[in-house]
Structure 1
Amino acid sequence: MSNFKALISLLLFTSLFTHTSPVFASPFRPDPLHHFRFYKGGYDIRNKHYWASAAFTGVHGYAIAGIWMIFGLGFGSYLVVRSFNGGFQPFLDHPSSYFLACFALTAMFILIAIIFSSLILVANQSSLHKSKTLMDTIFGAASNMQQTIEAVIQGFLKIRTLLQPYDRQTSELLNQITNQMRKETISIQSFVGEARQASNRAMKTVYITNLVFVTANLVVLVTGCVILFLHWHPAFIILIVVCWILTTVSWILTGFDFFFHVFAGDTCAAFEDFEQNQNSKSNNGIMSILSSCSNLSTSDKYMAQIGYTVHKYIAESNSQITSLAFKMIQPNDQSDDSFTIQKICDPFSGPPNYTYAPGNCHQDAIQIHDLPSILSTLTCEKNTPSDICKAEGKFFPESAYGKTMAYIQSIENLIATYPDLQSLAGCTPLKHAIADVATRQCKPFRASVKLLWASILTLSIDLMILTLFWIIKAYQEKGRHFSLCSIVPRNHQQNL
């Protein structure tokens, strides 16, 4: 049974996982958590340094927000000082066209702000849905892989139980393999849990932050429209302060959404890189979970070796069965030349690939799952004379029955587990998931995130201009009297 031991040894490849190597790393991405040194850790959503370096890409938005807030504080302080020194005189009298133009421009920028606020709501909902679908695809595949490993472990445990009374060395080897695979199962479970939690937290943060901001912004815009027609000057001052704060928050969100845009690009770049270069020797894994996937050529080599070992074991078993049968029956007559023995079905093709092909067995071949019942009818009991066994066609010795049955059932369990081994060797679930993400999901995902960032950027610029127009309107209407819902002051109305 040395061939079976060799087969078990070959199965170790399913539990040998390589180290994680970076997939996507920008050489121009400082890490604020590491003294602003360049981040080189690759795409790893469990790594806080990756998140810090990615978030830092939105520094332009954060910087403009800081400048705008400082400018606002300075401008506000200047107004307070001037108010204590006599205040401001109202603007000189202007023609009604001046008021109409200012009103029209203010209304236009309010309309633009409402339009892009609506676009942000649409893009925000779309990006949440697409990012959730993408992550569920990957994490679902990782969970399927975990279940496959657990199924293989259960198959190995059955084999170990069968062989333990007859082959302790192989049983111990199987015990080591299952322990190693359990560790990898825990590792995958830990990865899925941590990565899912991190990605869900990031997605919800982006979604809720944008939603709250846009909702508040729409309320302020509607309020501004009312104030624009009521001409209540103290409300203009409050509106300017609120708009200034909202503009600051908007620029912060511009940087934040740009970081989300970068994250989407990193994610898709990693998946597309793996999809295009998964067979290359220089290919890097995209996540630590992908380190469990062997190189395709290596996997084919190992699976061919497993097929060869099972193929050789069944061939030798068929040879031994034939030899025992002829030895017990000893055909000497001419009529015995037609004596034949049914062979065990070999589910693996011949050299050089030894591909698993259970449908290639001959119709009269004995199936692996039929061997236990057939073997019991061919076993000669220990106290039965050989002549009687010969007459009854029972040529298999009872002393070898238990051990042989254990190995036969082990082979049966191994063959039943083989499709799962193939799936693990080729990393089939993850590769299918990555292919789906890279070819079908990435383009709309990046488009929705880009629309979100572009919309918030446009809104931020619009709010800056709109805030300046609110200041102009406040100065324009200071000390003047307007009729309800009028656009120009009363004195201009009287002159018309």
Structure 2
Amino acid sequence: MVMRKWKVEAAAVLLCFLAVVFLRGVVARRVGENGILFLDEQGDNIRESALSHRTERIDPLDHLKKYRGGFNITNKHYWSSTIFTGKFGYFIAVAWLISGLICASVLIISYTIFYFKGRSEKKRTNVSKNGYNWSLHVVALLTLLAIIASGVALKGSTGFHSRAIEIENIVVQATNNASGTISTVSESVEVLQNDTQLSQNVEDSSSLELTSRKLNHEASNIQMKAEKTLQQVTKGLDILNAVTIITVILNLLVIILLLALIPFRLCQTLCVLIILCWLITFLLWAYSGLYYFFGKFAGDICLALDEYRKSPETSTLSTILPCNNHGSAEAIFRDVGERIYDLIQQVNSNITSLSLSLSKLEYICNPFSGPPEYYYHPENCSSKTIRIGDIPKIIEKFACLGSSSGACKPGEFIPASVYGKVQLYTDSMQDILDSYPGMKSLADCKLVKDAFSDILFNHCKPLNKYVHMCWASLATLSTISVLFVLLYASEAHQKSEFLTVRSVKLHMIVTNPSQNGAEIVSKHQKQRGIVERKA
């Protein structure tokens, strides 16, 4: 009895010691990484080395060698090394499950041997009378700690889920903006292309049509890939959050039920709850390792986003978000700006020539600066100028749009067909000009940088905080559950042995009633004689 109690206490102390060492080591490492995380203001070189140093991890797919490939989500070795960071939770979960199976096998074998051999009854009256031999205060304290740890775990899980969904919404919004901008330009080009007479006067009409098709394909491709990927991410986050909440709540209910069963002698119910708590503890250890991996991955992402925000060309994210064609994009936009600038300048020159014969003609705003850069600055337009899309409103009074009689009024010298083409052309040009900042932002990766900056400054710290709360509280809750299982399993084992002894004794009475009945009568007579002498 003393040896068994000593073994239980020693196992509990050892478990607490391992948990403390594990948590201290993890927190110390995390503090060190956070120290590296705040070195971003000292320069890009330090930042780059910080990310490379952070991702140096043991790779189980490469014979446990260190992975040194940096942050690269397209590399399977990066994923294996990052997932392996939660090895403490995984290993403890597997060891706990295997030890449970071994313990159950030993108990079944010992019970079978004890029952069939019919061992002599040992002195267990003190155990049965005193009931559970650990202090109720200790159990109540562990239950209180389990409730606190469960609350923190639920808070961390729901907070991590909500922050991850918010980050996903930012990515969705950026994707929609990108695809919407591309679609707007593509539709405007298609409108110009569909007008056969206008397209005949446009140089490289076939090239324009090919460009339009490519834009449509890219817009639909971006939208389709984003929706497919984000749907999978959302489904995974929802499943993880739901499974975590269900497991934590179920574990808490089992612990409370075990505490409530202390005054009762329901051995079978106690054994079922112990087995259930054992399995839940296995899941909690596995979840703690999984959330620790998520914490590592979230830290990598935040560090990589900051690196990409500062220098997209040298960032490791450039493999999936290429921004290294900045020079060619600038040349294309400069060429577009030059053509539109020259066109508007030519129109304004014609307006100057016609101003002597036609009054109330307004100049068109030229949103591009002069050569050689041709920057887009629509805010520099004078209040006396009009947008290119407003040209139909100005020339409408000179257009012969027809009447009920079909005759044109005096001063209406612009045919209706020409007016329609002008309206079509100017509306398309205005749509292209309105989409120009978005296209420029997309080509310069500013759209992506802005989304990353929003994630980095508003969501990275809360995300890391919640995921840290989650894995730490799950590890604590797992340790508490281990102590519960060991304590209750020890007492359930003692209780089952006591009941087994009684069943063996009753079995012997049934099989040999004369001998055992005589022994009972003899004991009864002795007790009666003692009572009479005392009287």
TM-score (norm 2): 0.67
Shift in CA distance, 144/405, structure 1 to aligned 2, threshold 3 Å: closer
Q: What is residue 242 of structure 1 aligned with on the other side?
A: 276
In the TM superposition, residue 349 of structure 1 has moved relative to its aligned partner by: 2.3
1:67 aligned residue: 95
Q: Hey, what's the Cα distance between the residues in 2 that align with 1:238 and 1:255?
A: 26
Match of 1:443 in 2: 461
Structure 2 partner of 1:307: 337
- CA-CA distance at 1:229 after TM superposition: 2.1
Pairwise mapping of residues 260-339 of structure 1 onto structure 2 (< 5 A)? 260-278=294-312, 281-285=313-317, 288=320, 290-291=321-322, 302-319=332-349
After the TM superposition, which of the residue ranges 262-271 and 202-211 deviates more from structure 2?
A: 262-271
Instruction: Select the residue among 380, 383, 399 that pairs with 1:360.
Output: 380
Q: Is the 8 A contact 2:57 2:82 kept in 1?
A: no
Partner in structure 1 of residue 236 of structure 2: 202
Q: Structure 2 matches for 1:331-350, cutoff 5 A?
A: 344-350=364-370
Q: Distance in 2 between matches of 1:76 and 1:266?
A: 42
C-alpha deviation, 1:305, in angstroms: 4.0
Q: 1:458 to 1:287 in 2, by over 3 A?
A: farther
* Letter of the 1:222 counterpart: I
Other-structure match for 1:170: 204
Q: Deviations over 1:118-172 (max 9, x none)?
A: 2212222211111111111112221221112111111111232346443364321
Deviations 1:407-466 (A, max 9, x none): 766644543442333343344443322211100111111111110111111111111122
In the alignment, which residue of structure 1 is the partner of 2:174?
A: 141
> What residue identity is the alignment partner of 2:365?
C
- From the superposition, tell whether residues 219 and 471 of structure 1 become closer, same or farther in structure 2 (CA, over 3 Å): same
SS of alignment partner, residue 85 of structure 1: helix
* Separation of aligned partners in 1, 2:184 and 2:290: 43
The unaligned stretches of length 5 or more in structure 1 are 1-22, 330-338, 380-391, 482-496
Report SS of the residue matched to 1:230: coil
Equivalent residues of 2:364, 2:386 under 8 A apart? yes
CA contact (8 A) 1:109 1:462 kept: yes
Write the mapping of 1:22-421 to structure 2, written as runs, cut at 5 A: 26-28=55-57, 30=59, 42-44=71-73, 54-86=82-114, 89=122, 101-162=134-195, 164-167=198-201, 169-278=203-312, 281-285=313-317, 288=320, 290-291=321-322, 302-319=332-349, 344-362=364-382, 365=385, 367-369=387-389, 371=391, 411-421=429-439
Q: 1:85 to 1:426 in 2, by over 3 A?
A: same
Distance, in Å, in 1 between the alignment partners of 2:152 and 2:390 is 66
In 2, Cα distance between equivalents of 1:315 and 1:439: 44
Q: Residue 448 of structure 2: which of 430, 450, 453 is its match?
A: 430
Whether the 8 Å CA contact 1:275–1:438 is kept in 2: the answer is no
Quote the offset at 1:297 in angstroms.
7.0
64-73 or 96-105, larger mean C-alpha shift: 96-105
2:35 match: none
Matching residue's letter, 1:307: G
Task: Measure the CA separation in 2 of the matches of 1:349 and 1:137.
Answer: 33
Gaps of 5+ in 2: 1-50, 400-410, 500-535
1:188-224 alpha-carbon deviations (Å, 9 max, x no partner): 1122122212211221221121112112212211210
Q: Which whole-Å CA distance do the structure 2 matches of 1:376 and 1:139 have between them?
A: 42
Q: Distance in 2 between matches of 1:222 and 1:373?
A: 77
When residues 405 and 91 of structure 1 are mapped into structure 2, their CA distance, relative to the original with a 3 A threshold, is same
Identity of aligned residues (%): 27
Distance 1:274 1:241 in 2: 50
- In the alignment, the residues of structure 2 paired with residue 238 and residue 408 of structure 1 have an alpha-carbon distance, to the nearest angstrom, of 78
Call closer, same or farther: CA 1:404–1:125 in 2, change over 3 Å: closer
For 1:185, give the aligned amino acid: A
8 A contact 1:65–1:249 mirrored in 2: yes
Aligned-pair distance for 1:324? 8.8
Task: Mark the CA change 1:358 to 1:109 in structure 2 (over 3 Å): closer, same or farther.
Answer: closer
Determine the C-alpha separation between the residues in 2 that align with 1:325 and 1:104. Answer: 98
Show CA shifts across 1:314-341 (max 9, x none): 3344456667999x99xxxxxxxxx999
> In terms of mean alpha carbon deviation, does 106-115 or 23-32 score higher?
23-32
Assess, with a 3 A threshold, how the Cα gap between structure 1 residues 118 and 361 changes in structure 2: closer, same or farther.
Answer: closer
CA RMSD of aligned residues (A): 4.4
How many residues are aligned here? Answer: 430
Aligned-pair CA distance for 1:97: 11
Structure 1 length-normalised TM: 0.72
Contact persistence 1:69–1:245 (CA under 8 A): yes
The one-letter code sitting in structure 2 at the alignment partner of 1:357 is H
Distance 1:205 1:378 in 2: 65
CA gap of 1:272–1:285, structure 2 versus 1, over 3 A, is same
Determine if contact 2:192/2:199 at 8 Å carries over to the other structure: no
Supply the distance in 2 between the matched residues of 1:70 and 1:52 (Cα, whole angstroms): 24
Q: In 1, distance between residues paired with 2:156 and 2:84?
A: 22
Shift of 1:255: 2.0
- Note the C-alpha offset of 1:353: 3.9
- Cα offsets for 1:270-291 (capped at 9, x unmatched): 323322334xx31343684x44
CA distance in 2, matches of 1:406, 1:234: 83
Partner of 1:115, secondary structure, is helix
Moved more, 459-468 or 242-251: 242-251
- Contact 1:90/1:475 (<8 A) preserved: no
Show the counterpart of 2:491: 473
